[in-house]
Structure 1
């Protein structure tokens, strides 16, 4: 199958309110476009207001009837997550779909969030745990689907529960993988509890494969002044249709997970090509670090108080 033929058809999402993190860049913009095209009302929380407004202008140029609103959200600050949740709760509208897509990747040296957590663990994992907690009444009211975006970096490794913030030893790639393992385990724990308690919310896990997004590009604020060798290789392979996906195909697994009629939390929604690096979206077995249900309980118990939402489910 040629990559230009790789696509999915989204169902009609008219009347559905969607919250999408990371929707102002890369595959997140593709997701935003596809969700709006399907009729969804899109809430776009962003750190960079100018970029967010630029995406809104692009969406409305393509779809003049687009219902989309930008909100401020800095996932490196739990206070910002709380404020965003308070703003949406004040609006009172149910949320039908939450896509936890935003993330940061491999700062060369250890950095911390406003709350003192290692940047990747705090942003990729804890902030999304907090987001779910602060939006929980709206998610329950909407019988929501929650899609949490992990990574091929969650294929190997394991969490170190006595050093979740990588204070003893920091390796950027390892910390990134651990942040994605933690998010995937939390997502599975949430789905298990929701089905057991009758909360009416489904929680599934997706990953985009590998594509030329900006995660490994130059990011001076992360201490990375130039593009990494890795992102240059990814761009070269992707441009030639070799093994990897594109920004457009990388967006599809999360969209499939968000809209499939029969959501499952015992699989990963991801590309189905060689090594699950690219190709058409589908499902494949969970990566080994995401399979242990005992680990999901440990992540749940450890994460809720760190994210400041220990009381959200009581």
Structure 2
């Protein structure tokens, strides 16, 4: 598949899809593609102005699209709970959940509103709490949960002795741990669903590398300017070299969400180093195969967010 070729999505009319982190970048591309396939797309965002602009862009591309803008701050368990209550009260089943939102590499250690290290708390624990809150709506739909991991998880590990990086904060290591945790959560969710008869399937995707806002200037997390890395990624992407674009980087999550035979599977780019290229099934990285870590992390995460996912 060439860079400008895209997956053909099935007709998703009558389905509801929720995509976190859809106000820009890869998440916006994912949401727009789902909307174009006929799904009703729920877009929960932290910045409502950015969210409104994203919805406007989606509806400009797909005038008949049904897009629901919601408020969500994944770094606040209260915000997660409020959204969960609102969607459960509406009663509409959720057919696909894509946990795409994330924060990357704050220069100094920061914490969420609940006191968790910012990357672990937002990228992982916020999604754990949200999936738990929406589980009834996912179960009634026999839904699919897709969690976005990252190439940073390829050599990551769970630091059980310092989960919140309180003793030793290494920004890249903390990010890698958070994205590994996302993957282990999705895989454990699938195992528990199969054992418990929940009807939910799960998959892990990773987008490779593409120019997004993750490494751009983010004053709200203490990064006043673009990183050298994001400038290089933009340069490579614009020339079609090695890395992807936001559109191509959306493909793995779309494949993971719509391939009905992919329960428990892993999807990513198939180009060199899995940095870009066509989406396809990939052999799971070694850290994703640690089932004991996944089960332990599930229990620890439930304890941290203060609610059971079952």
TM-score in terms of structure 2 length: 0.98
2: CA distance, partners of 1:35 / 1:157? 31
CA-CA distance at 1:157 after TM superposition: 2.3
2: CA distance, partners of 1:305 / 1:269? 29
**Equivalent position of 1:30 in the other structure:** 29
**CA RMSD between the two structures:** 1.0
**Equivalent position of 1:100 in the other structure:** 99
Q: Where does structure 1 differ by over 3 angstroms across 4 or more consecutive aligned residues?
A: none
SS at match of 1:23: coil
Q: Does 1:142 align with 2:141?
A: yes
**Equivalent position of 1:230 in the other structure:** 229
120-129 vs 156-165, which moves further: 156-165
**Equivalent position of 1:285 in the other structure:** 283
**Equivalent position of 1:43 in the other structure:** 42
1:132-185 per-position Cα deviation (integer Å, ceiling 9, x unaligned):
000011110111000000000000021111211100000111100000111111
SS at match of 1:175: helix
**Equivalent position of 1:303 in the other structure:** 301
1:74-119 per-position Cα deviation (integer Å, ceiling 9, x unaligned):
0110000000000000101111110000000000000000000000
* Alpha-carbon contact 2:144-2:200 (below 8 Å) kept: yes
1: CA distance, partners of 2:102 / 2:32? 19
CA-CA distance at 1:302 after TM superposition: 0.7
167-176 vs 157-166, which moves further: 157-166
**Equivalent position of 1:114 in the other structure:** 113
Question: Which ranges of structure 1 fall in alignment gaps of 5 or more residues?
Answer: none
**Equivalent position of 1:56 in the other structure:** 55
1:1-314 aligned within 5 A: 2-5=2-5, 7-265=6-264, 267-310=265-308, 312-313=309-310
1:12-48 per-position Cα deviation (integer Å, ceiling 9, x unaligned):
0001011110011101111111100000001110000
1:202-246 per-position Cα deviation (integer Å, ceiling 9, x unaligned):
011000000111100000111100101111111111111111111
58-67 vs 245-254, which moves further: 58-67
SS at match of 2:101: coil
SS at match of 2:4: helix
CA-CA distance at 1:264 after TM superposition: 3.1
CA-CA distance at 1:196 after TM superposition: 1.1
SS at match of 1:294: helix
SS at match of 1:98: strand
1:53-91 per-position Cα deviation (integer Å, ceiling 9, x unaligned):
111122222222211110100011000000000000010
1: CA distance, partners of 2:219 / 2:26? 21
2: CA distance, partners of 1:287 / 1:106? 22
1:280-301 per-position Cα deviation (integer Å, ceiling 9, x unaligned):
0001111111111111111111
Matched pairs, number: 310
SS at match of 1:215: helix
Question: Which ranges of structure 2 fall in alignment gaps of 5 or more residues?
Answer: none
2: CA distance, partners of 1:308 / 1:100? 20
